[in-house]
Structure formats: structure tokens, C-alpha cells
Structure 1
Amino acid sequence: MNDTVKPKYGEYDPFYEKYVSYSHGKDIIGLIYAQIDELEDILANKSDDWFLIPYQEGKWTPKELIGHVIDTERIFAFRCLSLARGERGTIPGFDENDYVKMAHFNDIPVKELMEDFRVSRLSLRSMIRHFSERDFMRQGTVNGNVMSSRACLAIIIGHFNHHMDVIKERY
């Protein structure tokens, strides 16, 4: 099944290459679960204050970054489902900064953010478990660009990896 979910160049906007490249040669399905534990490990033993301090003026706090990851995964899960089901309309883009501003992530307890992440990942796995190869390959238009259902999965995995690298290196 993992070969089925690996997108090829041209199945997504080149903007997403940095995220898709994180998933090359990896067990995408296994990472849906493994990244839950990874996030828990990264956040373990952090002080409450740590979650509210951006690494630089104008950047997100760790809570906002985690919330952004959750929002983005929900949006890409919707895109994945829509494309797998043959959506013919254009799926819109979104402004990540506006979403973070409107979400009030700094007011949400870390435990609840982790629960949201876990539930989102379990829901994603449940959603795709019965997708056929054809479902994963289906393409449509997202934010004016071609995208396949399987590219959405690779982007979810790579986007998470990108932001965990940011947490490890900058916070």
C-alpha cells in the first residue's frame, strides 16, 4: 500500500516539494501513527511558559505552531477525501496566518492540543484505510493547481516533519 500513496512530481504544486520530499522512501501509513508519539516525545517535559514564547518576534508560539499543524492536517485530509471522491470543483486555498490569528491556540491547554492532533491522525487513518489505488491516484484542482489525493497524504507527513525540525532547531 505504501507505494500506492507515494506521489510523483506533477501531482502537486511545486511549492509543496519540500514537504513531499520528507516522505520519500518512508512508510507513509506507519508515520501517520508514529508521528503522534514523536510529537509527544518532543513536547514532553516542556514548561508551560515554553509553549507561549515565540523563537523570534513575529513568529508563532509553540502552541500556535502545533495548532497550525492540526489545522493544516484537517484541511489536507478534507482535500484528500474530496479528491479521492472525484471532486470536480476547485478546492480553495487558505491563509495559514489568518487561521492561526483566529484560532486562539495560546488559550488551549497543551493536553487538548495533543488530543486534537491524536484524534485528527486516527481519523485520517480511518478515512484512508479503504481507499483503493485509484482513489489515491485521483486528481483535481486545489487552489488553482493540480493535486492528487496521495499527494495530500505526503504533504501532511512532510509538513509535520518540517515543523518538528523548526521546534527542535529554534525553540
Structure 2
Amino acid sequence: MQKSAISKMPEYFDRYINLTDDLSFTEVLQISLEELENLPVAQWKALGEEIYAPGKWTAKDILQHMIDTERVFSYRMTAFSRGDSQKMLAFDEDLYANNADANRRTIEDLLAELILVRKNYIALYASFSPEMLLKSGQGFNGSEYSVLAMAFMIPGHQRWHFNIVKERYFPLLAELKNQSS
């Protein structure tokens, strides 16, 4: 199924879904995996623990956040696809980030884990029937979203964060270079 088959665009998550192409979910998930496999690791590593503003995450924190988000949504999509009608628990991304200790890990380690988690996400979606893809559930705030919509949310979420890294973090590399000159 393609993105255009999403009958109701979920509030908040639409910002991520809209960053994906109107291809089949399997194609979009595969493209997102290729984007991970082609991540400019050297640039991400060069950022170290730099942040562009106080209170923002490091590059490692961002990768860990993507891992955590994907795992949380894997559970939600499994629950929705199986007809679970209970409201999902909230996901406090800052709480998770503050307790993950991502900066003790390497970029390579985080990226390897994220690629593994993405492959699992792809396998999960491959297991869903068309009927399961169209099932919906409730987020913690009562908003409703479908299993299909979340197939596009994760790749869009990745692009959202990669865009932030390109726009706000990579310019720091020039500043760091100038400081060391």
C-alpha cells in the first residue's frame, strides 16, 4: 500500500509522514534502510558531543532517540494490528534520552543497532496483511492512527532528524575547524 492509502493523516505525525514519497510502504522502508547504511559516519563522529543550542541532543542522542522511537512504535503497531483497543502509554522522549547514556557509545555502535532495529521493523511490516495495515489504535492523547500510517512515520521521522543534523549540526563542523586552526 502507498502513502496515499492512508485514510486519515494522524495529527502530529503528519510532519514526518509528509517527508516520505508516495511509494509503497515496503519501498519507503527499504529506502530508509539505505539512507541509514549510507549515513556520513565521519561527519556524525566529528560532531562529538557538540549541540547547536542549550538543551539539545548530541548526534549520539539523536540516533538513540531514533532507536527508542522505533521500538516503541513497533510495539504500538503490533498491538494495533492485533486489535488491541487500549490507549497506548505516553512516550517521554526527553526522559528516555536523559536515561539512555548514548554518549558513552560510538556512532558506529548506535548506527549498527539502528540498522538492526530497522530491519526488524521491515520484517514486522512484511508480516501484516492488508487488513492489519488498515487497523487503527489510540495514542496516549486519544489521537487515532493506523498501522499503515506508522509505516511511513518512522522513515519520515528519520528524515526529520537527518534534516536537523544537516541544517543545525553540520554547520558546527566548520566552526570547530575554524577554532582548531
1:124 maps to 121
Q: TM-score, normalised by structure 1?
A: 0.89
Offset at 1:132? 0.9
RMSD after superposition = 1.9
Offset at 1:112? 1.3
2:90 maps to 93
Aligned mates of 1:51, 1:39 — CA distance in 2: 19
Offset at 1:22? 1.4
Offset at 1:88? 1.6
Q: How many residues align?
A: 168
Listed as ranges, the gaps of 5+ residues in structure 1 are none
1:154 alignment partner AA: F
Aligned mates of 1:137, 1:47 — CA distance in 2: 37
| Higher-Rg member (1/2) | 2
Aligned mates of 1:89, 1:130 — CA distance in 2: 22
1:159 corresponds, among 150, 157, 173, to 157
Given that residues 61 and 97 in structure 2 are in contact (C-alpha distance below 8 angstroms), is that contact kept between their aligned partners in structure 1? yes
Q: Which has the higher contact order (CA 8 A, sep 6+)?
A: 1
Listed as ranges, the gaps of 5+ residues in structure 2 are 170-181
Deviations 1:68-121 (A, max 9, x none): 111111111111111011112111121111110010011112121011111111
1:106 alignment partner AA: N
Match of 2:138, SS state, is strand
2:130 maps to 133
Aligned mates of 1:101, 1:66 — CA distance in 2: 13
Offset at 1:24? 4.4
Q: Percent identity?
A: 25
1:9 alignment partner AA: K
2:146 corresponds, among 127, 148, 153, to 148
Given that residues 6 and 24 in structure 1 are in contact (C-alpha distance below 8 angstroms), is that contact kept between their aligned partners in structure 2? no
Offset at 1:61? 0.5
Match of 1:36, SS state, is helix
Offset at 1:170? 0.8
Aligned mates of 1:96, 1:38 — CA distance in 2: 23
Aligned mates of 1:142, 1:136 — CA distance in 2: 16
Match of 1:9, SS state, is coil
Match of 1:15, SS state, is coil
1:84 maps to 81
Given that residues 28 and 155 in structure 2 are in contact (C-alpha distance below 8 angstroms), is that contact kept between their aligned partners in structure 1? yes
